[in-house]
């Protein structure tokens, strides 16, 4: 029987994770990686490689077929307010205002907080994402980018130990996406939040991540079926204080981008 604690030194430890819907053709297998506290890690790969499954396992929303996940020294078993999740869809409750949507999450984490304390807490995080002017509006009155800001504020407001982001900006236009990316990076720097993020956007990964995990798809090979997995871990060599506007002017950006694009074009299928 698995002990519910581990002596591993990393904040998040993933050990030989696998997922199979058909026993002889696992989507991925033997996925192992770790995150330090305060680290921002992105995972990139083509559709079907299992990125979202891995994130859902980390969130406690899905179970792996093999392997284990430990966070802060304890095995991950089911959802927890220690892990905040933001999906591509904002998942706001349409009958509640911005304030009420975030307050609902805050009260779930701290049921004994007074109304005044909850409001002060909510306003702090709404202000962080620049939405104080819309705090008493309902989601129907907000743009797509504003709704995603609310989702991010709600996730940060419960002060999770780790934030899990599943392509949270994928449906936004390029200008809005860039603005929120810069805002997210600023908040993460200020809070030293640990973040695991799925993205299909190479520039987004380079902008935000300390490390980028390149994931391969499962494939039939002459030696038989080979499951997907982590093909390479890329350490981002660029200065951490960077913005979307200046990214392509930084030395080392183009070699890094070309390396990741080359992987996606020619090496993302298992061989």
234's CB contacts (< 8 A; 6+ apart) are 211, 212, 213, 214, 256, 259, 260
Q: What is the CATH number of the domain that holds 251?
A: 3.40.50.300
Residues in the chain: 271
Which tokens in the block code for residue 21? 């819907």
pLDDT tens, residue by residue, 51-81: 999 999 999 999 999 999 999 989 998 889 8
pLDDT tens, residue by residue, 2-30: 344 443 468 999 999 999 998 889 999 99
- Whether residue 157 is predicted with pLDDT greater than 50 in this model: the reply is yes
Query: CA Rg, the chain, in Å?
Result: 19
Residues spanned by the domain of 46: 1-82+195-271
157: in domain = no
Count the neighbouring beta carbons within 10 Å of the beta carbon of residue 248: 11
Which tokens in the block code for residue 35? 């995150």
Please compute the mean of the pLDDT values over residues 109-126 and round it to a whole number: 95
Number of domains composing the chain: 1
Window from 111-125, 132-146, 185-199, 204-218 with minimum mean pLDDT: 185-199
Average pLDDT, the chain: 89
92: in domain = no
21: in domain = yes
Contact 196, 212 (CB under 8 A): no
For 2, counting Cβ atoms within 10 Å of its Cβ (0-12 exposed, 13-18 middle, 19+ buried), the class is: exposed
Mark 156-185 as b/e (b = at least 16 C-beta within 10 Å): bbbbbbbbbbbbbbbebeeebbbbbbbebb
Phi-psi region at 242: left, alpha or beta (left = phi > 0; alpha = psi -120 to 50): beta
146: in domain = no
117: in domain = no
What does pTM read for this prediction?
A: 0.88
């Amino acid at each position: 029987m698995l002990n519910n604690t581990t002596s591993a030194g990393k904040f998040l430890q993933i050990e030989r994770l696998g997922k199979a819907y058909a026993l002889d053709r696992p989507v991925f297998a033997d996925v192992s990686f770790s995150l330090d506290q305060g680290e921002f890690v992105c995972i990139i790969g083509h559709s079907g490689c299992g990125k979202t499954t891995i994130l859902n396992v980390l969130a406690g929303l899905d179970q792996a077929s093999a392997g284990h996940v430990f966070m802060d020294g304890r095995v991950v078993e089911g959802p927890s307010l220690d892990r905040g999740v933001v999906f591509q869809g904002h998942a706001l409750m349409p009958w509640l205002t911005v304030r009420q949507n975030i307050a609902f999450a805050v009260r779930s984490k701290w049921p004994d907080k007074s109304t005044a304390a909850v409001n002060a807490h909510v306003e702090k995080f709404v202000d962080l994402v620049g939405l104080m002017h819309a705090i008493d509006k309902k989601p129907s009155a907000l743009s797509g980018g504003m709704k995603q800001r609310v989702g991010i504020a709600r996730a940060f407001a419960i002060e999770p130990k780790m934030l899990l982001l599943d392509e949270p900006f994928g449906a936004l236009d390029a200008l809005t996406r860039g603005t929120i990316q810069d805002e997210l990076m600023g908040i993460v720097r200020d809070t030293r939040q640990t973040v695991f993020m799925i993205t299909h956007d190479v520039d987004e990964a380079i902008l935000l991540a300390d490390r980028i995990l390149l994931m391969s798809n499962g494939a039939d090979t002459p030696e038989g079926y080979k499951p997907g997995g982590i093909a390479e871990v890329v350490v981002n060599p660029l200065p951490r204080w960077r913005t979307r506007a200046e990214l392509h002017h930084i030395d080392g950006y183009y070699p890094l981008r070309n390396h990741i694009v080359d992987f996606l074009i020619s090496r993302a299928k298992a061989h």
